Structure 1
Amino acid sequence: MKKIFFTFTSTAFLMIASIVTVKAQVDPVTPVTPPTPPAATSDIVGVATGSVEHTTLVEAINTANVLKVFQLNGPFTVFAPTNAAFDKIPEADRKKLMKNKAELAKTLKYHMVGGTWNSTTLMNAIKHGNGFVELPTLSGGKLKATVEDGKVKLTDEMGNAMFVTNADIMATNGIVHVVDGVAHPMQPVTAAKQ
């Protein structure tokens, strides 16, 4: 009886081993690599132009005659306000801003930062900066970046806050982060006439 059981057990073992061997030959184990992000095919302006949420931004870039600035080689990081972000500005103020080319150009450049600040780089800088990092903008002002509820929060020099709602959109001349507000640079103080 022991001999029959041993023969049956060894036969079953050999059958299982051969099935496993055949299965291994049919399904070779290949290492899983994460997909590489698609290469950028458009510059920052092309990214904005291709977005239905950024028609006001594209209009503002053209109105302010700063198209070439947004097409420079960079690299740049742009915090791109959506149409809804522009709509948060009271209508009279928004119309006034859109008519004042110099002020509009300054406001748009206030959303541009030199270098490639992807979400990882930005979060690390905030962490190593004791909870914040100041980003010098092309307008000459600074944006303060912090983290609130797990999202990157940007505060302008006037104290207005906006959040990054979509990060790391690659462009050929930098990176775009979508934001839900419009940053306003500090207005120069003019001396009162006496």
Structure 2
Amino acid sequence: MKKSLLMVGAVLAINLTASRVFAQTQDTTKKTTTTTTTTEGAADVVGALASNADYSTALAAVKAAGLDATLKIGGPYTIFAPNNVAFSNLPAGKLDSLLKDPAALGTLLKGHVVTGKYGKADIIKALNAGKGKASLTTIDGQPLTLTLVGSKLQLTNASGGSAQVTLFDLIGANGVVNGINGILAPAKK
């Protein structure tokens, strides 16, 4: 009986913590806001990405790398898309250099895409099942770990790069886009 009560208490605590991460929050030090936006009717995840001007640089990068053709068919996919501010924080000239090198840009971007549809509700389920932690695999086979840090959802890649989710649920017919506030650089080979 005591074990059952403890298990129920633990599940409730995880649910409350997971619910808090998805409330609209504002971090005054970084001036970012976590929101949930649903875009219905986008033909695909690339269209969903195009539906929000805060992700125009990510959209341009997807097109420059030639990933748009792949992401428009098949799926479902989830793109953890860096916002424009994340791209502007790259060192001077780095974005231009990447845009001129589709192979390097493609490698970088594949680390932000997973197979499967992981909207806000799906992420909550995965975190609850994993007791506050979930692991996904990017389309290039690398692990991507989701954890709660305080009341925010954080992604960490294999090289230790991390970013926080700032936008949920831009829906396309073949997946979803969630916005993040950083760029997850791949491990150096």
Superposition TM-score tier, normalisation by shorter sequence: 0.7 to 0.9
| Distance in 1 between residues matched to 2:188 and 2:162, nearest whole Å | 17
Q: Percent of pairs identical after alignment?
A: 30
Of stretches 92-101 and 131-140 in structure 1, the one that deviates more from structure 2 is 92-101
CA deviation after TM superposition for structure 1 residue 168, in Å: 1.6
CA deviation after TM superposition for structure 1 residue 79, in Å: 0.7
- Whether the aligned pair in 2 keeps the contact of 1:141 and 1:186 (CA below 8 Å) is no
Larger Rg: 1
- Whether the aligned pair in 1 keeps the contact of 2:135 and 2:143 (CA below 8 Å) is yes
Describe the superposition over 1:137-192 as per-residue Cα deviations: whole angstroms up to 9, x where unpaired.
0122121110122221101222221111111221111011111111122222xxxx
| Distance in 1 between residues matched to 2:107 and 2:182, nearest whole Å | 16
**Amino acid paired to 1:187:** K
Q: Equivalent residue for 2:71?
A: 70
| Distance in 1 between residues matched to 2:158 and 2:96, nearest whole Å | 22
Q: Equivalent residue for 2:179?
A: 178
Gaps of 5+ in 1: 1-36, 189-194
1:40 maps onto 2:46 in alignment: no
Describe the superposition over 1:56-78 as per-residue Cα deviations: whole angstroms up to 9, x where unpaired.
11211121111111212211111
The 5 A counterparts of 1:103-182 are 103-182=104-183
Give the TM-score taking structure 2 as reference length: 0.73
Describe the superposition over 1:71-100 as per-residue Cα deviations: whole angstroms up to 9, x where unpaired.
122111111111111112212333332222
Gaps of 5+ in 2: 1-37
Q: Equivalent residue for 2:34?
A: none
Q: Equivalent residue for 2:16?
A: none
- Determine which structure has the larger strand proportion and give its number: 2
- Whether the aligned pair in 2 keeps the contact of 1:107 and 1:139 (CA below 8 Å) is no
Provide closer, same or farther for how the CA distance between residues 157 and 181 of structure 1 changes in structure 2, counting only shifts above 3 A: same
| Distance in 1 between residues matched to 2:110 and 2:70, nearest whole Å | 8
Q: Equivalent residue for 1:8?
A: none
| Distance in 1 between residues matched to 2:126 and 2:39, nearest whole Å | 25
- Whether the aligned pair in 2 keeps the contact of 1:157 and 1:184 (CA below 8 Å) is no
Describe the superposition over 1:18-56 as per-residue Cα deviations: whole angstroms up to 9, x where unpaired.
xxxxxxxxxxxxxxxxxxx77433311112223211221
| Distance in 2 between residues matched to 1:131 and 1:61, nearest whole Å | 31
- Whether the aligned pair in 1 keeps the contact of 2:39 and 2:169 (CA below 8 Å) is no
Q: Equivalent residue for 1:191?
A: none
| Distance in 2 between residues matched to 1:142 and 1:88, nearest whole Å | 24
Aligned residues: 152
**Amino acid paired to 2:59:** V
Provide closer, same or farther for how the CA distance between residues 109 and 182 of structure 1 changes in structure 2, counting only shifts above 3 A: same
